[in-house]
Amino acid sequence: MSQSYDLQLAYALGKPQAQAGFKQQTSDFIVRERLGFEPSGEGEHVYVQVRKTAANTAWVGENIARYLDIKEFDVTYAGRKDRHAVTTQWFSCRLPGKQEPDWAGFDVAGVEILGHSRHQKKLRRGEHAGNEFEIRLRQVQGHDLEARLEKIRLQGFPNYFGEQRFGRQGSNLLAADALFSGQVVRREQRDLCLSAVRSYMFNQDLAAQILAGAYADQCVAEFQWQLPADDRAAEAGRKRGRSRDRENTQTRGRDAAVTPESIPRGWLYGLSRQENPALQSLEQRFPDWCQGLARLALKAQQRDLWVRPAALTWRFEESDLLLSFGLPAGSFATSLLREIVDYGER
């Protein structure tokens, strides 16, 4: 394996010519996690909803464990949320036989307790339904934005893993190289680097298919006739000249993203009981990684290659572009943004 990795990927709509600033302020990136279910109100796990500003998810979990005087592994969450953002998410805390915590004394900078409830099961990674985003792109310069946004609204975008999955300058991939060569890797980084190599291979395979012309027309046709009823109504309203803002109030709470059964799926490398040409192709292209993953007995998994955002709306405030949309769990907002503008993250 090379000691440097190209994280550049093919664009579904061609590289955007417009430019914009991203995450210039913490409030430019707002994320709200949707569990997809309501805690039952009873059980040995306390679910606590937190709004954090400029705070790391794992760090918040550590502070919750410290406050409750329990082990860190007894505090779990569905997914890591961006540090440089305002994010709302749930944590579960295992407290069998203990009284309800008094959250009034929890005082951590940048962290606010919004609510809490009991539940029978702990919160596991990827168990939430999805996330809702409100994003401000600043000082947008360029053209063709409306056309790109309309295509993404109808067609969707490649379901790439975001660059943050790979660490700074691919550091998680380099850690995987070290792990598979027999070197010692910190326990907390082990899962990150295993996830990174599987994600990298998925991205490369999807990018190759896009470069070969796959999905260019197929997904447009599928999504246009499979729009949910409320989206069809909103589409008819737009044709009659109604405001796009209305769609936001009509559709804002429904499950994020439409993923019809006909949407193709790709593979996250792992062991499979049956012969699989796609996995065999990855073994030929990434032999060291695949051998390392096989030794660890990871099972192959599938992931949608394409995703359409739910309730995608947009408006301009002078030179800033404000976006609102929902995505299913595991999909990255940055993979949508890169199809719209060439953004500079700060």
Cβ pair 165, 79 in contact under 8 A: no
Cβ pair 135, 323 in contact under 8 A: yes
Gyration radius of the chain's alpha carbons:
21
CB atoms closer than 10 angstroms to residue 201: 23
Q: How far apart are CA 200 and CA 170, in angstroms?
A: 10
Percentage of the residues of the chain whose pLDDT score is greater than 90: 74
CB hemisphere CA count around 135 (13 angstroms): 28
Considering 6, 69, 74, 82, which one is annotated as catalytic? 82
Structure confidence by residue, pLDDT tens digits, 198-250:
999 999 999 999 998 876 655 544 544 344 444 444 444 443 343 333 233 22
Q: How far apart are CA 301 and CA 304, in angstroms?
A: 10
Q: Determine whether domain 163-215+264-304 maps to CATH 3.30.2340.10.
A: yes
* 37-119 and 163-215+264-304 agree in CATH topology: no
**Which has the minimum average pLDDT: 148-152, 215-219, 275-279, 333-337?**
215-219
**Which has the minimum average pLDDT: 112-116, 124-128, 323-327?**
124-128
Alpha helices in the chain (DSSP H): 57-68, 145-155, 171-180, 187-211, 218-225, 229-239, 245-251, 277-285, 287-295, 333-337
pLDDT value, residue 4? 75
Q: Determine whether domain 37-119 maps to CATH 3.30.2350.20.
A: yes
| Dihedral sign for Cα atoms in the order 227, 78, 45, 34 | negative
pLDDT band at 3 (very low <50, low <70, confident <90, very high): low
**Listed residue (175, 167, 202) closest to 285, CA to CA:** 202
Whether 102 is a known active-site residue: answer no
Per-domain residue ranges of the chain: 37-119, 163-215+264-304
CB hemisphere CA count around 214 (13 angstroms): 16
pLDDT value, residue 229? 40
Average pLDDT value for residue range 155-168: 93
Average pLDDT, the chain: 86
pLDDT at 292 over 50: yes
Structure confidence by residue, pLDDT tens digits, 63-116:
999 999 999 999 999 999 999 999 999 999 999 988 889 999 999 999 999 999
